[in-house]
């Protein structure tokens, strides 16, 4: 595919590096020569310096021949104009990053066909949705849904020694669930039945949504469905969106925000939340507000250092679950090592949502896990695909990947080697990035 990416911030850089690795023809546009030079040092890509919203720059980038144009700068208006200009010049599909909820019709985070643009992505609202999912299942490090919510995946920290050093095939986990991947330090393992869990591993468990909760008991704590009290640091777009969603669930919400004007807006807009004007890293303030009694603390400020420090204070005060936004994705592993339960990178999360609309084949969605060390791919099997021709044990499924679950007319199952995929099935695959191409080949027609 011929792809043009406008804006080389975190979203644009991640998109460009992934798409180039997949052998797409990528052109990048940015007005800052230093940004283009830095990008060129890391990736071999055609670059154009200029205003991505101008006809001249877009013509130079040959957007009339583009299969996809993604406008992902930090400026909403520039992205909207660039997308509309690209569409006018003949681009097949256009995607725009638009963060302000004032331009958007709801709180979904991804919107089709609004503003005359094929797909509009909001990094902030998508991040808020991701945090909301974690709050609704607090105790998990990651929560994702597939196959129209019939299949769920949760990431769980192994804290019970009783389940360690036992081969996975011998663990008495519930039927229709599977430990599909294990993050051990910096290594992502796609395990076999002979592998064992170790203390502090992060296990990615997939299964039927209505039974996945029972499997959580094997990991030292039960993931609860819905926190009763949540404290949010930061009343910006993300904090506001999280609070707005939680109000509908009758969750007790407090927002700590340093800017008095933002506090006033929040007080006027949110009907149930308690708004506190103050410094979220102030230990005295947090103790006074009884932060330690909260089920979940969400560090949602715009500054990584504030999110980390406030999260560590919240942990020391006894908050049960700590979720932090990480604006520089490379910091995520450090956060988790220091005791932050779960992290969300708004820009990286948005980039991953865009990628699922780009990849070839019958891929429904692509979800990164463990900072990009692994991926969860959802496919729709076609009657002419190699995957439906034989028993799974005979299709040549690559090492480094595993089918986590299948959803079809026969119901939902965690498959065995003697099972077969049938046409129309939704197939959820855990894969290391280096073997994804081999997995995709099994689903192509």
> Which of the two residues, 7 and 366, has the higher pLDDT score?
7
Taking the domains of the chain in order of start, what are their residue ranges? 2-121, 130-224, 227-327, 358-443
The DSSP bridge partners found for residue 181 are 204
What separation in angstroms does the CA of 215 have from each of 102, 173, 266? 41, 6, 39
Token pair for 400: 């480094």
Q: What is the DSSP string of 76-138?
A: HHHHHHHHHHHHHHT-SEEEEE---GGG-SSSSSEEESGGG-SEEE-HHHHHHHHHHHHHHEE
pLDDT at 2 over 60: yes
What is this structure's pTM? Answer: 0.71
- Which homologous superfamily does the CATH classification assign to the domain defined by 130-224? Regulator of K+ conductance, C-terminal domain (3.30.70.1450)
**pLDDT of 211 above 70:** yes
What does the pLDDT read at residue 405? 93
What pLDDT shows up at residue 323?
Answer: 93
pLDDT tens for 29-83 read 999 999 888 887 778 888 999 999 999 999 999 999 999 999 999 999 999 999 9
Tokens of 386: 């190699």
Predicted confidence (pLDDT) per residue in 343-399, tens digit: 888 888 788 778 766 654 467 777 878 877 888 988 888 888 889 878 999 998 999
Tell me if domain 2-121 and domain 227-327 are identical in fold. yes
Question: What is the rounded CA–CA span in Å between residue 237 and residue 301?
Answer: 10
**205 vs 198: CA distance, rounded Å:** 15
pLDDT of residue 222: 54
pLDDT score of 359: 57
20 vs 109, which has greater pLDDT?
Answer: 20
CA distance 118 to 111: 8
Class of domain 2-121: alpha beta
Give the fold, CATH level 3, of 227-327: Rossmann fold (3.40.50)
Look at residue 161 and give its three-state secondary structure: helix
Looking from the CA of 64 toward its CB, the CA atoms found within 13 Å total: 7
Q: Rounded mean pLDDT of the chain?
A: 87
Superfamily, domain 358-443: Regulator of K+ conductance, C-terminal domain (3.30.70.1450)
């Amino acid at each position: 595919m011929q792809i043009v990416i406008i804006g080389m911030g975190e979203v644009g850089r991640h998109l460009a590096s992934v798409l180039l690795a997949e052998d797409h023809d990528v052109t990048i546009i940015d007005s800052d020569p230093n940004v283009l030079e830095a990008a060129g040092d890391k990736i071999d890509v055609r670059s154009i310096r200029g205003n991505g919203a101008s006809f001249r720059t877009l013509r130079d980038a040959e957007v009339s021949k583009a299969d996809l144009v993604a406008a992902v700068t930090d400026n909403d208006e520039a992205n909207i104009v660039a997308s509309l200009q690209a569409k006018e010049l003949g681009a097949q599909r256009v995607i725009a990053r638009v963060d302000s909820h004032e331009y958007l019709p709801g709180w979904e985070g991804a919107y089709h066909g609004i503003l005359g643009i094929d797909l509009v992505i909001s990094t902030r609202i998508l991040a808020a949705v991701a945090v909301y999912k974690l709050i609704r299942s607090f105790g998990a490090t990651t929560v994702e849904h597939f196959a129209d919510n019939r299949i769920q995946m949760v990431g769980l920290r192994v804290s019970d020694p009783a389940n360690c050093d036992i081969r996975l095939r011998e663990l008495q986990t519930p039927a229709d669930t599977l430990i599909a991947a294990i993050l051990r330090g910096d290594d992502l393992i796609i395990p076999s039945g002979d592998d064992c869990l170790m203390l502090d591993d992060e296990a990615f468990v997939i299964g039927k949504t209505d039974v996945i909760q029972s499997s959580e008991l094997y990991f030292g704590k039960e993931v609860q469905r819905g926190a009763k009290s949540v404290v949010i640091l930061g009343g910006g777009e993300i904090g506001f969106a999280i609070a707005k969603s939680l109000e509908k669930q009758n969750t007790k919400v407090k927002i700590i925000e340093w800017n008095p004007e933002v506090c006033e807006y929040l007080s006027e807009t949110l009907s149930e939340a308690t708004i506190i004007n103050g410094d979220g890293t102030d230990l005295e303030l947090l103790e006074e507000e009884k932060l330690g009694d909260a089920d979940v603390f969400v560090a949602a400020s715009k500054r990584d250092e504030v999110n980390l420090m406030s999260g560590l204070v919240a942990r020391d005060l006894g908050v049960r679950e700590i979720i932090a936004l990480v604006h520089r994705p490379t910091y995520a592993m450090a956060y988790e090592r220091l005791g932050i339960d779960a992290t969300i990178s708004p820009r990286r999360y948005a980039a991953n949502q865009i990628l699922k609309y780009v990849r070839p084949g019958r891929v429904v969605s692509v979800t990164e896990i463990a900072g990009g060390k692994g991926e969860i791919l959802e496919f729709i099997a076609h009657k002419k695909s190699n995957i439906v021709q034989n028993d799974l044990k005979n299709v040549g499924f690559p090492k480094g990947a595993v089918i986590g679950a299948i959803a079809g007319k026969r119901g939902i199952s965690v498959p065995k080697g003697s099972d077969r995929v049938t046409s129309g099935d939704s197939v959820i695959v855990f894969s290391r990035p280096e073997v994804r191409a081999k997995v995709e080949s099994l689903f192509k027609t």
